[in-house]
Structure 1
Amino acid sequence: MHATVTDHRTDVAVLKLKGELDSDTSAQLHDLLAQLLERPVPRIVVDLSALHFCDSVGLSAFVTAKQVITARGGWMSFAGANRFLVDLLDTVGLSRYFAIFAEVDDAIAAAQI
C-alpha cells in the first residue's frame, strides 16, 4: 500500500490510499492515522479510489481511528470507493458508521454544511 496526505482548506486532511490494505500494510496505515489524530479536531477524508483491496485488519484500523476522532469532535469519511469496497463496507455494516461519497470533493463539500 502507498499512502499520501494532502491538506484541503486548513482543517481537512485527505488520506489517499493506493494498492492493498491488509495485515502486511496495516502498520503503515496505523502510523499515518496516529499522525492525523494528533490534530486538535481531526477531519479526514479517506480517498479509496486507488485502493484495490482491504481486509479486516484494515477495516479495524479505520474503526479504531473513527472512535478517537469522534471523541475529539472530528469526523472521518470515505470517498471514491470501488464496487468491491462499497460491498465490503455494506456487508460488515460499516456503511452505516462512515459517510461514503463518490468523490473527495463531495466529502469535503459535505463537511461545510
Structure 2
Amino acid sequence: MHVSVIGNPGDAVVVTVRGDLDLDSATVLGTTLDRVLDQPAPRVVVDVSGIAFCDSTGLGSFVLGHHRARAAGGWLRVAAPSAWLLALLETVGLTPQVEIYPTVADALATDRDL
C-alpha cells in the first residue's frame, strides 16, 4: 500500500491511498491520519480511488479518523470510492457516519462542515 499527503497549513489535506488496505497495511494509513489530524479543526479528504482491497481494519481507519476529526472541530471525508468499495461502506453502515463524495473535487468544494 502507498499513502501520500498533499496539503498546506490552514487548508484541507488530501490523503491518497493506493493498493490493499488491510490488517497488514492499515497502520500506515492510521499513522498518516494521526499526523494530519493533529491540528485544530482538521479538514481531511481521503482519496480511496486507488484502493484495490479493504478489510474491516481498513474501514476502522476511516471511522477512527472521522471521530478524531469531529472531536477536534473538523471533518474527514472519503472521496472517489469504486463501486465495490461504496457498496462495502454502505453494507457495513458507514455512509450515515462518514461523508462519502464521488470525487476529491466534490469533497473539497462542499461548504458543509458536518
TM-score calculated relative to the size of structure 2: 0.92
Alpha-carbon separation, structure 2, partners of 1:89 and 1:2 = 21
Q: Which moved more, 1:60-69 or 1:88-97?
A: 60-69
Provide the aligned length of Structure 1 versus Structure 2: 113
**Paired residue for 1:79?**
79
TM-score calculated relative to the size of structure 1: 0.93
Q: Report if the CA contact (8 A) 2:47-2:104 is conserved.
A: yes
Deviation, 1:8, is: 6.1
Q: Does 2:100 align with 1:69?
A: no
**Paired residue for 2:53?**
53
Q: Any residues of structure 2 matched to 1:1-113 within 5 Å, and which? A: 1-7=1-7, 10-111=10-111
SS in 2 for 1:28: helix
Q: Report if the CA contact (8 A) 1:23-1:55 is conserved.
A: yes
Please report the RMSD computed on the Cα atoms of aligned residues, expressed in angstroms. 1.6
Structure 2 unmatched runs, 5+: none
Deviation, 1:111, is: 3.7
Which aligned runs of 4 or more in structure 1 are off by greater than 3 angstroms? Answer: none
Alpha-carbon separation, structure 2, partners of 1:26 and 1:112 = 28
Structure 1 unmatched runs, 5+: none
Q: Which amino acid in structure 2 is aligned with residue 93 of structure 1?
A: G
For residues 8 and 96 of structure 1, do their structure 2 counterparts lie closer, same or farther at Cα, with a shift above 3 Å needed?
farther
- After superposition, give the CA deviation of every residue in 1:13-61 in whole Å (9 maximum; x if it has no partner): 0000000100000111111011011111111000011111110001112
Alpha-carbon separation, structure 2, partners of 1:53 and 1:111 = 30
Q: Percent identity?
A: 39
